[in-house]
Amino acid sequence: GVLVRCNRGTSGIDGSLSSAAGAASGDTAPHFLVIGDLSFFYDMNALWNTNPIGNLRVLLLNNEGGGIFHSLKGVPHDTEGRRFISAEHHASAKAWVEDSGWRYLRADDTASLEAGIAALTDVDAPGPVLLEVFTDKDEDAAHVASVLEGAGNVVNVVNVENDAKAGDEMNDRNE
């Protein structure tokens, strides 16, 4: 079976990488972490971990800022919004990862993504591995919006069904 562990720090950015490093240092099974760029950069000192974490594989999604904010209604997408809300940047994890002794992989297109995923999921590869995938935040926001729109239709159907069931249960109790 697959063991899934989840961690969400304050606002989703605190300690996720540290938690994964700690979990990986506690056993020899492969550990995989999917993390966004802001979460990674806020917690990248976890790469200094001196405990053995050669079984840790990290998929870093880098859209140059808190791209999730571009899919939220009411958040300004102007220069100030990108600067102060989504913390837009042009950083890469490459130097920090390599200086920490990790294997660094980069994906900018489908071919490099497929090769990177194959290398990242090779549990026999020595040492920790990080695959940094660069995406476009505006395309990401459009994709998230379309997924949420589709999910909203499903959620509304489920809510209607649940509301109907709850109404029936209340009627049964009142009779």
| Residues forming beta bridges with residue 36, ordered by sequence position | 61
pLDDT in tens, 60-82: 999 877 666 666 666 666 666 56
pTM (2 d.p.):
0.75
Q: What is the pLDDT of residues 126-142, one digit of tens each?
A: 899 999 999 987 787 77
Q: Residue 58 pLDDT more than 70? A: yes
Cβ atoms of 140 and 152 within 8 Å: the answer is: no
**66 and 38 Cβ atoms separated by less than 8 Å:** yes
Assign residue 57 a region (left: φ > 0; alpha: ψ between -120 and 50; beta: otherwise): beta
Strand, helix or coil for residue 142: helix
pLDDT digits (tens, 9 = 90+) for 26-54: 888 999 999 988 889 888 888 887 787 89
